[in-house]
Amino acid sequence: MTIATRLKDFLHKYADQLVILAIISFSFFWKLPYLGVRDLCLDEPFTLYHSQKSVLGIIDRCTEGPNAPLFMILVHFWSKLVGFSEESIRLLPLIISSLTAGFLYITGKRFFSFWAGLLAAGLFMFSKYFFYFSGELRMYGLMCLCTSGALFFFLKCVEEGKQKDFWFLLLCNVALVYSHYFGWFIIMMEAISALFYLKDKVVFKRLLWVFIGTGLSFLPLFLVLIEQFVKSTDGTWVAPPPEGQFKIQVHAFLNSGMVFRLMEFFVPIGLALAFVLGQLFKTPKKYIVVLIWWLIPLGVMYQVSSETPMFIDRYVLYCSIGLYVFIGAFIERFAHFKWLQAIATLLLIAHMMGSFSMGKEYCRREIKAAVEEVKTLENEENLVVLFPEWSKLNFSYHYDLDIFKEQNYIEEKLNAAKVFPLYTAAQVKSKASEMGKNEIILFNNAGPYDAGYVEMVKGLKSEYREVSKKEFPDNLIVSVFRKN
């Protein structure tokens, strides 16, 4: 047997595995250089800080708030392995995102066609949203990976009925609800989808046991979920979505309205062909499953957000997983001809690539530069005030990593460095008087229009004059106040 023949046999035998590896590798390596472009900021230091606790400590911390523990537990072990630098710690969400691209290809290819898998993975890889979240140290990427895994194994369960696939589905479900509490929307989609298979008693019974197992696994956090739901009925920090935001959000998943309009172009053509060929009313159930997998949770979250706002990019991100698979499945179902599927797939991916750009929002807050400005201004005559209170984690990570790593004494260590998280002008004046300081460096991480910040500045100006003020992108201000 010649080398060429062996190579041909190898490629034929492992074609799928090689495509999956290529997709995962491409998704990983083309985003890798950007991991350190954006400063660790906003909720990322919160995740990293609390992940330093023991596993039991992380779970205990998560019982006090709206954060599920799984991602923090993964970060706990990952940080022990790679350290705390922005690039190394963000490798974890990048790996998770890259695996999601592979899962999307497998799902599309296994249940629909090669072009459906390629399109689902391509839409995901060139999404501006996922480019951003693949490099953010938060749980949203993990939730999307679990969503893609749950979709794959649900379809595998109902098509093949193998017992091991139900166990894998249960594992995905448990990981999903322990990644984010919104994972229960996907469990709800599974329950609705299961109703399509009522006639298959064995499959439906096993799915029922999967749902029961998921619920039992979540008992330790069930009361936390109820408490968070009750709190959310009184309002959240998220604003209600404006009219038309549903369509805008779908456009955003596809980078722009143009990709959506291309779909609108292919839809009537596909439906017309299906009608002519007598296949319009013979659509298999799996196509309906991938449709409702994104449409219902996205629609429900949009509707309830008028009363309990939750319709923002990171919270609805997981809905795009079903959307990408649905688009690939729709093209496969209604394009009919392989050449038409190929043209539609390549056109949609090409336009997704053409409309991709990082944009200024990718870099977000230049907190590192703002902290360096504080360091430059520090001297024996002044003290540093952090506003608001939560900014102490953002600040300390870039100010002194050793202070950031102090689990129980971070505020004491900051105070020892003459850095104080304070909330009002009266507190600032009192602390300056106590320490005999005539100059105050105010580090504001809440923006120029925050009511508390405006009130603080107003109160300080009764005894101090603002001698310098430097603004940094996206709501960061470093000011110096000197006593009159």
Q: CB neighbours (10 Å) of residue 214?
A: 22
Note the pLDDT of residue 213. 94
Residue 232 CA: distances (Å) to CA of 61, 139, 211: 19, 20, 25
What is the C-alpha separation between 404 and 393, in angstroms, rounded?
A: 7
- Both tokens of 233, joined, read 């009925």
Note the pLDDT of residue 132. 85
DSSP-derived pairing of the beta strands 464-472 and 439-444: unpaired
Domains of the chain in start order, with CATH, are 14-362 (no CATH), 367-483 (3.40.190)
CB burial class (10 A; 0-12, 13-18, 19+) of residue 116? buried
Find out whether 188 and 150 touch, Cβ atoms under 8 Å: no
What is the C-alpha separation between 299 and 457, in angstroms, rounded?
A: 43
Find out whether 365 and 475 touch, Cβ atoms under 8 Å: yes
Q: Which of 391, 375, 393, 388 is nearest to 441 (CA)?
A: 375
Q: What is the mean pLDDT of each run of 10 residues along the chain (484 residues)?
A: 65 77 92 85 89 89 80 94 92 95 94 93 90 88 94 94 93 94 91 91 93 91 71 63 84 79 68 64 81 90 82 87 91 76 84 74 75 90 88 91 87 90 88 87 88 89 88 87 86
Note the pLDDT of residue 375. 92
CA angle, residues 321, 325, 326, in degrees to nearest 5:
110
| Residues 86-112 as b or e (16 or more Cβ within 10 Å = b) | bbebbbbbbbbbbbbbbbbbbbbbebb
